[in-house]
Amino acid sequence: MSRIGIAILVLIFAGTAFMIGFLAANFSMVTYPVPAHNKAEFITTTTSTSTTAPTTSPTKDMLPYDSSNKTVFLDIVSLSSATPFNFNGTSNGQLHVYIPAGWTVLVTYTNQEGLSHNFLIVSNNTATPGDDVGQDGTIKLYVGTTPSTYLDNGINGGASATGSVSLPAGIYWFCCGIEGHAAAGMWGVIVSSSSVTTPYYTG
Ligand SMILES: [Cu+2]
């Protein structure tokens, strides 16, 4: 065999050995991205489940009103079918009434419970009512009672009473004035605000 023939054979062997080494190195690298790819898929799945969480907001229900004389009609009932000391089945500040600033609230209060109750609107300066709501702020309206008897007297079960008052911008309670009844849960909130254009309630 000539020298050139030997040289060609050496080159072929050397080239083959190099190719085997090159391929082996490549295959060992190929295993690298595979787990990384699986990891990326796992993260994508997690992200898609977290974007579907719904947000909840309280339902707004409209109240009857007459815009010509800026009056909101508030029908409040202490239900015999609900837990005692309720207004329309709610208690402890749950019911929120929203009215435009300066509008008049015309209340019709009906008592269905066995106990006597009354209905007051209070410009409050405490967070929650105590036994005498007259000590928690200024009473703006007396329905079914009087300024001198609200701690003891209201209307009996089956009776109704009405009253009205205009409310400047502010936050108020509506509550029962009989001693301890508001503290037992018989109160809600009225928000009078210039940012409210149509009366509504939540809760
Ligand atoms: Cu009461």
Question: Got the DSSP string for 21-47?
Answer: HHHHHHHHHHTTHHHHHHHHHHHHHHH
Provide the pLDDT for residue 56. 67
Report the amino acid identity of residue 147: P
Residues 23 and 78 in one domain: no
- pTM score over 0.85: no
Collapsing DSSP states into helix, strand and coil, what is residue 6? helix
Instruction: Give per-10-residue mean pLDDT for the chain (203 aa).
Output: 59 58 48 43 44 66 98 98 96 98 98 97 97 98 98 98 98 98 98 98 96
Residue 81 lies in a domain: yes
Q: CATH no. for residue 118?
A: 2.60.40.420
CA 155 – CA 158 distance, rounded (Å): 8
Does 35 share its domain with 132? no
Please report the pLDDT score of residue 35 as a whole number. Answer: 43
Q: Is 117 inside any structural domain?
A: yes
102 and 69 in one domain? Answer: yes
72 and 45 within one domain? no
Same-domain pairing of 174 and 78: yes
Residue 111 near residue 158 (C-beta atoms within 8 A): yes
- For residue 28 the two structure tokens come to 């060992």
Ligand 1 centroid, distance to 2 Cα (angstroms): 121
State whether 94 and 147 are in the same domain: yes
**Ligand 1 centre and the CA of 134: distance in Å?**
14
Judgement on whether residues 106 and 17 belong to the same structural domain of the protein: no
Domain membership of residue 114 as a residue range = 61-202
Q: In terms of domains, do 83 and 155 share one?
A: yes
Residues 100 and 160 placed together within one structural domain of the fold: yes
Distance, CA 160 to ligand 1 centroid (Å)? 13
Number of folded domains in the chain? 2
With contact defined as beta carbons under 8 Å apart, do 105 and 72 qualify? yes
Q: What's the gap in Å between 82 CA and the centre of ligand 1?
A: 14
Residue with tokens 């080159």: 11
User: What pLDDT does 48 receive?
Assistant: 45
Beta strand 104-111 with 160-166 is antiparallel
